[in-house]
Amino acid sequence: MDPTLELKYKVIKELPLTVSKNALSALHEAKLIYKDLPFIRIGIKGGAGCAGIAYSIGIDNATEKDEIYMFENLKFAIEKGQLMHLAGMAIDYLDSGKDKGFVFNNVS
């Protein structure tokens, strides 16, 4: 682990959600492309009416509002205020024909 990361951010070891092998593989591939952005950001976007909460995942920088997690040689950033909506979530990656992308399953 990068020692400067621990000085700048509180690094928490246990990720509060599960990430499938397919999702981890896709995230490692994305990190090869976006080397200049060090974190995988998992978050939510406010629900629009009846639509509820929309989940998001991307490559980003961390902020002081984030909790930082290390998992499978990846650094994850999750905004502290969003943790209650993401805890227990299972993230998978599907690649079947024209359907390709991350899938969020709320298992709790």
Query: Domain coordinates of the chain in residue numbers?
Result: 3-106
Is residue 1 scored above 50 in pLDDT? no
Per CATH, the number for 3-106 is: 2.60.300.12
Is residue 7 scored above 90 in pLDDT? no
Q: What is the mean pLDDT of residues 44-54?
A: 73
Burial classification of residue 92, based on how many CB atoms lie within 10 Å of its CB (0-12 exposed, 13-18 middle, 19 or more buried) = middle
Write down the pTM of the prediction.
0.83
Is residue 39 scored above 90 in pLDDT? yes
**What does pLDDT average to over the chain?**
86
Task: Please choose, from the candidates 108, 107, 104, 93, the residue with its C-alpha nearest in 3D space to the C-alpha of residue 53.
Answer: 104
